[in-house]
């Protein structure tokens, strides 16, 4: 299988970027597709972490406003994992450690890699590196974030059972916390043995 990028043009540059590709690719039945165009939303790659305290059996979720949720019929304030865009020269592990301090005032003691996944490869190149992080939840909470990044982030410490209920009731309604909580449900006992 092969593909040919015939042209790539930047069509928008703002907080994020948009590119228009003209391309063609090989077909499963043989031969090549006709030329076609696709727009690609480019926001960079990101890393996220679900902080978990195995002794208290509690997770840390952050709540913040998300413009992408405005027209969904539900609240644009979402419960999420801690996350951030990868900066050049920084690893995913460095990113989640930095973001945990900035967004939740939390120090990650250990990290477990959950997975890397494509967010929506039909229209964006973003790839997420997702982790579970060992934290101590004592003293965590409040409002955090970086002022010059317009962050207004409320930190919630919730019991494991409450987080599972949030998953089942659709309160967790974006990919990062859904994937992370499903992973925690399968790995909780192992993490308690490993980290407690």
Tokens of 129: 């590196």
107 given a catalytic annotation: no
Q: Where are the beta strands (DSSP E) in 3-126?
A: 3-13, 17-25, 36-42, 46-53, 58-65, 77-80, 82-85, 110-118
Q: Any idea of the CA torsion for 181, 182, 186, 187, to the nearest 10 degrees?
A: -30
Catalytic residue among 149, 151, 162, 189: 149
Measured distance CA(182)–CA(47) in Å, rounded: 17
Residues labelled catalytic: 149
């Amino acid at each position: 299988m092969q593909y040919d990028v015939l042209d790539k043009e930047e069509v928008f540059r703002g907080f994020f970027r948009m590119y228009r590709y003209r391309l063609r690719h090989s077909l499963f039945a043989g031969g090549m597709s006709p030329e076609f165009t696709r727009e690609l939303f480019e926001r960079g790659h990101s890393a996220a972490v679900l902080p978990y305290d195995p002794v208290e059996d509690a997770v840390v979720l952050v709540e913040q406003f998300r413009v992408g949720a405005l027209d969904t019929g539900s609240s644009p304030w979402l419960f999420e994992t801690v996350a951030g865009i990868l900066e050049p020269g920084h690893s995913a592990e460095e990113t989640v450690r930095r973001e945990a301090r900035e967004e939740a005032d939390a120090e990650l003691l250990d990290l477990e890699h959950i997975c890397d996944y494509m967010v929506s490869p039909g229209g964006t190149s973003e790839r997420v590196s997702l982790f579970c992080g060992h934290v101590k939840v004592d003293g965590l909470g409040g409002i955090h974030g970086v002022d010059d990044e317009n962050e207004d982030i409320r930190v919630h410490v919730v019991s494991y059972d409450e987080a599972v209920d949030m998953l089942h009731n659709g309160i967790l309604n974006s990919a990062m916390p859904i994937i992370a909580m499903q992973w925690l449900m399968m790995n909780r006992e192992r993490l308690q043995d490993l980290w407690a």
